[in-house]
Each structure stands twice: as C-alpha cells, then as structure tokens.
C-alpha cells in the first residue's frame, strides 16, 4: 500500500460503513476516505431492534447524547407454548442471559454522532443520494479500495446482476412505542412462541421501547402487521401505530462464500449485511458488521487483504456453527418444551456465549441429558451437526429452504 496515495470509498454509511471508515482512517491510515450514504443522518430510518450487545466496538462515549440510552444488564428469553394464549399465561421457561457492555440505543443518533466524529477527522461524506450500479463502476475506477457496506442485497451484487440470488431470510417488523416498561427496563424481553422466529420488547427507557417480531424460514403469516399487533396484545406491550411500523429483512447468505465477499481485481470488500453475515439464528447483525469492517481495515493495513475471505470465515465460524444448531432446535423439532429446556440451560450465560461459543452452550445442554438426547435424536439434527462440524453447509449452492 502506498501511504501517500491511498484512497478509499465506503458505500453505505450505516454501522458497518462507519466502522469501515473508522478502520481505514485509524488502522490503515488512509489519506482520503469518502462515505457514500443515500440517506441524510438527520432523517435516517431504522429497521432494527436497536440492541447493540458489544458497544465497546463503537468509538463514542456511551452517553445518551450519543444515542446510548439504556445500559441493559442482559436479555430475558421467555418461551411459551404457542401464540394461542392469554396475556397471563405462564411461560414454559424464563431465562436471563447477561451482556455487560450492551445498550438499547437510539440507532439514528448513534450513527449521526459517529458520522460527525469521522467528518471532524477528515472523512468526506456524500449523503442524500443513492449510488447507482453505473456510478459503482466509476467509483471502483476512481479509488484504490472500495468497501461495500450497502446492506442487502449489496450494490456489488446489484451491479453484477446477482441480486436475485440473494434474498432476505428473516422478515422482521419493528416500531418504537410509548408505555410503562419500568418492570423490565434493564432486562429487555425476547418472546419465543412456537414459530421459527420471535417477538421482542426492548425498552429504551422506562417509558418507551423498540418492539417487533420476526420470522425465519418459509412459514410466515399472511398479514405481518396484524401478527405484530397480536404479539403486542398477548405479550403485554403497546400495539404500535401502523404508520410507525417498519418492515425489513435480515439476510441469510451468500454469507462467507469467498467469491462473494472480496473482489481482488477491483479491491472491493463486502462487509456487514452486504456480506450476508447477520446471525441466522437470532438476526443480530450490528456487531458482526462492525467486526467485519475492522477486520478488512486491519488486513489492508498489513497488506494481507487477500486473506479477507478466510479471516472473515475464521472470525464467524463458531457463530455460524452455533446458529445452525440452535436453529435446528426450532426447525427440526418444533417442540416448545424442548426449546424451554434449552433456554433453561442457557440461564446466566452471556450473549457472547450463546452467540459465539458453541462449546459453552453444548456443555450446558449436555448437563440435561434428556433434552440433549432428544435434541440430537433426529436425522435432521444429526445432518446439521455433521454439516456444522465439517463446515460443509457454508458454500453449498443448493441451500435448504430453512437453512
Ligand atoms: C427489524 C430488524 C431488527 C433488527 N434488530 C437488531 C438488533 O436489535 N441488533 C442487531 O445487532 N441487529 C439487528 N438487526 C440486524 C441489523 O439491523 C443489521 O444486521 C445491520 O443493520 C447491518 O448493518 P450494515 O451497516 O451492514 O447494513 P445496513 O444497516 O443495511 O446499512 C446499509 C446502508 O447503506 C445505505 N445504502 C444502501 N444502498 C445504497 C446506495 N445505493 N447508495 C448509497 N447508500 C446506500 C443505506 O441507506 C444504509 O444506511 C435487525 C434487523 C431488522 C430488519
């Protein structure tokens, strides 16, 4: 890398793009970094639960002014028999998973403040206009490096005409509502209710919260908004105004396919949702996106950028294994009692454990022999175990519909 002539374009200025700009500036010490963002930071839309589990990744003081509004102790997983139940039905399991540096945020504020910080350090922002696939080609010509953080499907895939291959996996709706959340402001709730997916109520304060619901796989309700309203009724959080409800998808792949995350000819790196690396089991993607962007910057700084696909795979492998297995507990069994046993086994672990440390989770589940046996006594689960531990599921061209 020539220190005096390195220029980089970052396509998309959300969490992964802002992390890429931070990394290129601080780690790779680029002279010129330009972020292209189609929205304006003062008026940015959020399709997200706004839970950030490891806020140490964001280089801002964790103050309400910077959007870090609720410093939570962890999350409470509540497992129910199904959706056909009353408000006061008792959950089959209630399990608390901890997260020390976690916050429920005002994400548009976090992004605006982060962008302001970067601008003050010399990053150029071109906002309020979408980069077209034609402009994408010009940008690639004009910069030494390009980081595509444009979400899913990525600009790179669109420019290459590949976008149809890449579909969102998890449909999710969210909205901010007002109500009384004082009973669980420090322990946001996640409701598992018999479908492949979950509803959530993530308080930002005692008086307002981000609430939502998401479904993975093929079986989804006909009317998403009505399903969110019903979830609000039975889980005792306020029904959002229809006009406030956002609908979005969480990606499933191409995830770690090396051909898709790095183009050595054009020096293009895909990070975050653009690379399809949101967690397939619980849909979390902010920390994953930030980590992928810092990784790309570190490798560029070291002159080892061709290692990006492999290093990204190494970074995420444990998480993908665990996500594949946890999702199997839903998809292959559809048994709320079994899910409740698994949730009970997770009590007291951290979000990091249940997201990225398969051995820790397995040790906990193994302490409940009947649940452990029931989990693996199934051809689908055994296939998943084999796939996860031989890494043979990642690059398959024929993906299972409920992967
Ligand atoms: C309902 C819902 C709830 C979620 N809840 C959580 C949660 O609580 N915690 C969590 O960690 N994850 C959550 N996720 C996942 C998380 O939101 C994503 O993984 C994360 O936003 C990925 O960040 P990103 O920067 O890679 O992409 P994105 O957030 O998609 O950002 C892409 C950026 O690129 C810009 N852009 C796109 N195209 C262009 C273009 N042509 N030109 C210029 N700019 C462009 C967009 O405007 C956007 O700012 C949730 C997702 C959904 C849908």
* Interstrand relation of 246-251 and 208-215 (parallel, antiparallel or unpaired): unpaired
**355 vs 230 pLDDT, higher one:** 230
Q: What is the pLDDT of residues 174-191, one digit of tens each?
A: 999 999 999 999 999 999
CB 249 within 8 A of CB 170: yes
- The pair of structure tokens assigned to 45 is 């839309």
**pLDDT (0 to 100) of residue 140:** 96
C-alpha neighbours within 13 Å on the C-beta side of residue 284: 22
Averaged over 245-249, what is the pLDDT?
91
Q: Which of 257, 323, 322, 316 is nearest to 291 (CA)?
A: 316
CA of 151 relative to ligand 1 center, distance in Å: 6
**pLDDT (0 to 100) of residue 266:** 93
Confidence of residue 393 (pLDDT cuts 50, 70, 90): low
Under the phi-then-psi rule, with left for phi > 0, alpha for psi from -120 to 50, and beta for the rest, what region is 385?
alpha
Ligand 1 pocket, residue 293 CB under 6 Å: no
End-to-end CA gap in the chain: 39
Confidence of residue 252 (pLDDT cuts 50, 70, 90): low
CA of 239 relative to ligand 1 center, distance in Å: 24
Return the ligand 1 atom nearest residue 249 CA. Answer: 53
CB 222 within 8 A of CB 171: no
Would the pLDDT of 399 be above 50?
A: no
Ligand 1 pocket, residue 67 CB under 6 Å: no
Q: What is the pLDDT of residues 97-108, one digit of tens each?
A: 999 899 999 999
Ligand 1 pocket, residue 20 CB under 6 Å: no
Would the pLDDT of 40 be above 80?
A: yes
CB 188 within 8 A of CB 104: yes
**pLDDT (0 to 100) of residue 256:** 60
CB 276 within 8 A of CB 255: yes
Ligand 1 pocket, residue 131 CB under 6 Å: yes
Would the pLDDT of 267 be above 70?
A: yes
Dist CA 375 CA 1 (whole Å): 50
Averaged over 221-227, what is the pLDDT?
95
Instruction: For the chain, list the domains and their CATH numbers.
Output: 7-309 (3.50.50.60), 316-390 (no CATH)
Would the pLDDT of 398 be above 60?
A: no
**pLDDT (0 to 100) of residue 62:** 98
Q: CB neighbours (10 Å) of residue 399?
A: 13
**pLDDT (0 to 100) of residue 279:** 86
Dist CA 220 CA 240 (whole Å): 20
Residue with the smallest CA separation from ligand 1 atom 27 is: 151
Would the pLDDT of 400 be above 60?
A: no
Averaged over 383-397, what is the pLDDT?
74
Calculate helix-pair angle for 336-346, 358-366, nearest 10 degrees: 110
Q: What is the pLDDT of residues 7-29, one digit of tens each?
A: 999 999 999 999 999 999 999 88
Confidence of residue 110 (pLDDT cuts 50, 70, 90): very high
How far are the Cα atoms of 49, 224, 396 from residue 247, in angstroms, in the given order? 12, 9, 29
- The pair of structure tokens assigned to 81 is 């028999």
Ligand 1 pocket, residue 201 CB under 6 Å: no
For the chain, the average pLDDT equals: 90
**pLDDT (0 to 100) of residue 16:** 98
- The pair of structure tokens assigned to 279 is 């967690």
Would the pLDDT of 305 be above 60?
A: yes
**pLDDT (0 to 100) of residue 168:** 65
DSSP string, 243-265: GG-EEEEEE--STT-HHHHEETT
SS3 content of the chain, % helix, strand, coil (to 5): 40, 20, 40
Would the pLDDT of 395 be above 80?
A: no
Would the pLDDT of 79 be above 80?
A: yes
- The pair of structure tokens assigned to 149 is 């953080």
* Interstrand relation of 208-215 and 168-178 (parallel, antiparallel or unpaired): antiparallel
Dist CA 314 CA 224 (whole Å): 36
DSSP 106: -
- The pair of structure tokens assigned to 141 is 């010509």
Q: CB neighbours (10 Å) of residue 167?
A: 12
């Amino acid at each position: 890398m020539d220190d005096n002539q390195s220029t980089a374009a970052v396509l998309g200025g959300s969490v992964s793009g802002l992390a890429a700009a931070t990394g290129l500036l601080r780690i790779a010490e680029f002279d010129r970094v330009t972020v292209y963002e189609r929205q304006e930071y003062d008026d940015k839309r959020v399709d997200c639960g706004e839970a950030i589990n490891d806020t140490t990744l964001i280089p801002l003081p964790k103050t309400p002014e910077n959007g870090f509004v609720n410093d939570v102790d962890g999350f409470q997983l509540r497992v129910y028999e199904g959706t056909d139940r009353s408000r006061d039905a008792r959950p089959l399991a209630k399990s608390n998973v901890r997260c020390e540096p976690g916050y429920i945020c005002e994400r548009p504020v976090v992004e605006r403040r982060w962008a302001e910080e970067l601008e003050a350090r010399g990053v150029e922002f071109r906002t309020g206009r979408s980069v077209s696939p034609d402009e994408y080609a010009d940008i690639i010509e004009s910069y030494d490096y390009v980081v595509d953080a444009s979400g899913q499907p990525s600009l790179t895939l669109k420019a290459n005409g590949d976008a149809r291959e890449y579909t969102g996996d998890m449909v999710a709706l969210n909205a901010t509502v007002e109500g009384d959340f004082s009973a669980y402001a420090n322990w946001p709730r996640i409701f598992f209710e018999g479908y492949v997916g979950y509803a959530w109520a993530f308080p930002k304060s005692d008086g307002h919260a981000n609430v939502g619901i998401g479904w993975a796989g093929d079986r989804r309700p006909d009317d998403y908004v009505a399903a969110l309203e019903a979830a609000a009724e039975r889980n005792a959080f306020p029904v959002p105004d229809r006009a406030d409800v956002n609908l979005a998808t969480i990606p499933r792949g191409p995830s770690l396919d090396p051909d898709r995350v790095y183009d050595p000819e054009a020096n293009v790196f895909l990070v975050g949702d653009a690379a399809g690396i949101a967690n397939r089991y619980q849909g979390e993607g902010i920390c994953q996106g930030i980590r992928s962007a810092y990784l790309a910057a570190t490798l560029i700084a070291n002159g080892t950028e061709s290692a990006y696909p492999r290093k990204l795979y190494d970074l995420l492998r444990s998480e993908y294994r665990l996500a594949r297995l946890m999702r199997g507990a839903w998809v292959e069994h559809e048994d709320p009692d079994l899910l409740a046993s698994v949730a009970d086994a997770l009590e007291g672990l951290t979000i990091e454990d249940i997201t990225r440390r398969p051995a820790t989770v397995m040790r906990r589940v193994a302490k409940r022999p009947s649940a452990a046996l029931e989990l693996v006594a199934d051809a689908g689960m055994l296939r998943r175990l084999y796939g996860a531990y031989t890494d043979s599921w990642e690059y398959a061209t024929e993906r299972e519909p409920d992967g």
